[in-house]
Amino acid sequence: MHLSSALWRAALKWPRLQRLEVLDLPEFGARIVQIPKAGSGTIRMHVLRRLREVSGSDLPKSHLWRHVRFVKPERLPHLNPPQFTFAFVRSPYPRLVSCYRHKIAQPRERGHRISPLFAVYGGTFSLRMDFPAFVRAVASVPDRRAEKHFRSQTAFLYHNGRLLVDFVGHLERFDEGWTEVCRQTNLGPVARAYNVTGDADLAAWYNPELLGLVNDRYRDDFNAFGYEVTTGL
């Protein structure tokens, strides 16, 4: 379904009601499953730029909502018209660092409150928590109750063991993956990537205990998408 109401969009982000957030772009022959903290910002900015090019006008960011569909996973392969459907994934280690920065560290630094979406977990999450406490909290929440920013990526892209998309790119090899997207669609090259938290400084965030928690929590992601499991730094 297409939704423009901010209230309904917020409701569908609630863990028990979550649907796949899909950018439906028949004008480009593409359908994109948005996975938070895995390059979704870069992809949205590029789509908006292409829509502006096609329309010949400076469309506002809010225009993207006209192309968003909230879809139950089992419905994704049956959407019409059929289009090349893809998503990008990311190693769980930097993805979780990015989530902590976005949802905990930045609001704390700016004097904001924690996102109301975390209220469903009671006092499990707070802006006072450090990264180890955040990882432990995430590890305690199963996917069926997980807010989308820390849900397993397999929960977005698999249903009953079946891959739901035609292509899965890796953020770490974004240019390579996007080349395939360009071959299959009319989206065109991306000028540059935005908001990418690199892998280089993971030792500053993780210790063996935290790595073990992430390895267990995101075991399906490591297995499905070919990411190497790290046990020590």
Tell me how many domains the chain contains. Answer: 1
Conformation bin of residue 156: beta by default, left when phi > 0, alpha when psi is -120 to 50: alpha
Do residues 19 and 71 lie in contact, with contact meaning Cβ atoms separated by under 8 Å?
Answer: yes
Instruction: Assess whether pLDDT exceeds 60 at residue 206.
Output: yes
The answer to whether residue 58 sits within a structural domain is yes
Instruction: Assess whether pLDDT exceeds 80 at residue 150.
Output: yes
Instruction: Assess whether pLDDT exceeds 90 at residue 6.
Output: no
Q: Give Cα separations from 125 to 10, 109, 185 (angstroms).
A: 19, 16, 40
**What pLDDT is recorded for position 118?**
83
The answer to whether residue 155 sits within a structural domain is yes
For 41, the domain range is 6-225
The answer to whether residue 60 sits within a structural domain is yes
Within 10 angstroms of residue 212's Cβ, the number of other Cβ atoms is 16
The answer to whether residue 40 sits within a structural domain is yes
The answer to whether residue 1 sits within a structural domain is no
Query: Average model confidence (pLDDT) for the chain?
Result: 89
The answer to whether residue 231 sits within a structural domain is no
The answer to whether residue 187 sits within a structural domain is yes
For the entire predicted model, the pTM comes to: 0.89
**What pLDDT is recorded for position 93?**
97
The rounded distance, in Å, linking the Cα atoms of 88 and 173 is: 10
Segment 201-219 shows an average pLDDT of 95
The answer to whether residue 179 sits within a structural domain is yes
Higher-confidence position of 19 and 134: 134
Instruction: Assess whether pLDDT exceeds 50 at residue 172.
Output: yes
Do residues 42 and 195 lie in contact, with contact meaning Cβ atoms separated by under 8 Å?
Answer: yes
Residues 84-101: tens digit of each pLDDT: 999 999 999 999 999 999
Instruction: Assess whether pLDDT exceeds 50 at residue 59.
Output: yes
- When mean pLDDT is compared across 6-10, 20-24, 135-139, 155-159, the lowest value belongs to 6-10
Exposure on the CB side of residue 125, measured as CA atoms within 13 A? 26
